[in-house]
A = this chain, B = another copy of it.
Amino acid sequence: MTAKILTTEDFLLAAKRSEISTLRQLMISCDLVTRATELIHELQRERGQSNIYLVSDGRRFAKERDEEMQTCLTAETNFRQVLNKLNLDHCASSSSRIFSCIAHVLHGLDGLPAQRELITSGKIRAADNTKAYSDLIAGLLSLVFEAADLSSDPDITRALVAMFRIVQGKEYSGQERAWGLIGFTAGTFKDVLKERLKVLQEAQDRCFDIFNNFAHTIAVAQWRQVENSEATGEFQRMRQMINRYQSGDHLPTAISDVWYEVATRRIDSMQEIEHELAAALLTLCQQKIDQAEEDLRLHHDKLKSLEDIGEPPQSPLSAMPDASGVSVTPGVNVKLARTIYDLVQGQAERLERMSGELAEVRQALEERKLIDKAKGILIQSRGITEEEAYKQLRQSAMDSNKRIIDVAVNIISVADMLKGRS
């Protein structure tokens, strides 16, 4: 080979440079996440208002809906503009999943104008309408999840997991608001509706538990404030009202407005926390990039200043600190060898520490994937819906006094066994 032989120093600096360019890529992802969460928020509002518009045969929320569609369009434009910052030729190992997610979302967004026409002309049922918007929102949520999955910096992953969970919790809240509205508007809560609301409440609790574990102190304090607020108190009383509802009772339909208002106030306060998280996330990314660039400069200068001494850049094992009793081969630039050793060692230790922390934070991500996989196995083998599959997991966990994730892992390993994998 005639090519220049790559040295220890080359790889030492390449490791730092790779870290920096990964962080830059991650910064764009975080930008994308922020825009995606903003778009989710507007789609949630539009979903709610278009449903009221539909069930009232166009008599209510016509004006609000018109205004909201404009706001939503702006959010969509902002989202699409960040997409143009992405380097489509970039080949980080999870890029294909992010790109595939984006294709899914764009496909949904391309269909929105036609969807809106159907609503305006009253040619779609509220339930189908809810499904269409919810699918689009689910696609955007997956995008937030994939961004968290892409990160290899434990602190940023941590922040992205917190973001994902609060957005997910907010979406469950939005669904609770929508189904509650249907119940209060009708003045009745059938058992199946009560059960659905209970599942949505539990799902929210789980999201906010994880959020509390992963978010930074200020955001957690903000959330505690929301939980202790007067609005949440009123919201909880309305939840109890639904819970105590007995078949045959008839609730005054005027309550539906109050329900919508307190649920909305709660959701809006979640959005404020999202803003806080988004700002903190971008600051964190920028700090990490600055730090890594500073490190690279230091590494570079250190190596340069020592090489200038002119001795050959060798670095024998015998110059390592832990073999210091051993005689040193003459003619070797010992100072340079020691510096390289320190840099190599320091970098390796730092990356290993990060890798351990990352593995810990990633447990929260892996859990979601494993639960999804177990659900998929149940859906396929028993021909049930996703909601039913989740209920079965939950029931089985309660019956055996285990965590849902443990039940999921069990299902997967048994399925593997049946396939003859292990």
Task: Tell me the A residues contacting B by CB distance below 8 Å.
Answer: 1, 3-12, 14-19, 21-22, 25, 80-81, 83-84, 86, 88-97, 99-104, 106-108, 110-115, 117-118, 123-124, 128, 131-132, 135-136, 150-152, 213, 314-320, 323, 326-327, 329, 332, 340-341, 344-345, 347-348, 351-353, 355-360, 362-363, 366, 369-370, 372-373, 376, 412, 416, 422
Given the known interface contacts A326-B118, A372-B352, the answer about A106 and B7 at a Cβ–Cβ threshold of 8 Å is yes
- Asked if residues A94 and B152 are in contact (CB atoms below 8 Å), the reply is yes
- Asked if residues B316 and A115 are in contact (CB atoms below 8 Å), the reply is yes
Which residues does chain B contribute within 8 Å of A327, judged by CB atoms?
Answer: 118, 123
- Asked if residues A348 and B104 are in contact (CB atoms below 8 Å), the reply is yes
Which residues does chain B contribute within 8 Å of A4, judged by CB atoms?
Answer: 84
- Asked if residues A111 and B11 are in contact (CB atoms below 8 Å), the reply is no
- Asked if residues B18 and A95 are in contact (CB atoms below 8 Å), the reply is yes
Q: How far is the CA of A165 from the CA of B327 in the complex (A)?
A: 36
- Asked if residues B15 and A96 are in contact (CB atoms below 8 Å), the reply is yes
| A231 to B: closest C-beta gap in Å | 28
Which residues does chain B contribute within 8 Å of A369, judged by CB atoms?
Answer: 355-356, 358-359
Residue of B nearest to A139 (CB): B348
Contact of A111 among B112, B123, B128, B318 (CB under 8 A): B318
- Asked if residues A317 and B114 are in contact (CB atoms below 8 Å), the reply is yes
- Asked if residues B93 and A22 are in contact (CB atoms below 8 Å), the reply is yes
- Asked if residues B376 and A370 are in contact (CB atoms below 8 Å), the reply is no
- Asked if residues B106 and A8 are in contact (CB atoms below 8 Å), the reply is yes
Given the known interface contacts A88-B6, A96-B351, A107-B8, the answer about A316 and B113 at a Cβ–Cβ threshold of 8 Å is yes
Interface of A, helix, strand, loop or mixed by DSSP: helix
- Asked if residues B352 and A110 are in contact (CB atoms below 8 Å), the reply is no
Which residues does chain B contribute within 8 Å of A103, judged by CB atoms?
Answer: 8-9, 11-12, 15, 344, 347-348
Contact of A91 among B18, B83, B101, B362 (CB under 8 A): B18
- Asked if residues B92 and A93 are in contact (CB atoms below 8 Å), the reply is yes
Given the known interface contacts A18-B91, A118-B326, A360-B412, the answer about A97 and B355 at a Cβ–Cβ threshold of 8 Å is yes
- Asked if residues A370 and B366 are in contact (CB atoms below 8 Å), the reply is no
Residue of B nearest to A94 (CB): B152
- Asked if residues A115 and B18 are in contact (CB atoms below 8 Å), the reply is no
- Asked if residues B132 and A99 are in contact (CB atoms below 8 Å), the reply is no
Pairs across A and B, CB under 8 Å, 29 listed:
A6-B80, A8-B103, A9-B103, A12-B100, A14-B99, A15-B95, A15-B96, A17-B89, A18-B99, A21-B89, A96-B351, A100-B348, A100-B351, A107-B344, A111-B314, A111-B315, A115-B316, A118-B326, A124-B326, A353-B376, A356-B370, A356-B373, A359-B366, A359-B369, A359-B370, A360-B416, A362-B366, A363-B366, A366-B366
Q: How far is the CA of A112 from the CA of B412 in the complex (A)?
A: 47
Q: How far is the CA of A128 from the CA of B327 in the complex (A)?
A: 13
- Asked if residues B107 and A1 are in contact (CB atoms below 8 Å), the reply is no
| A349 to B: closest C-beta gap in Å | 10
Q: How far is the CA of A4 from the CA of B318 in the complex (A)?
A: 58
Which residues does chain B contribute within 8 Å of A7, judged by CB atoms?
Answer: 106
Which residues does chain B contribute within 8 Å of A412, judged by CB atoms?
Answer: 360
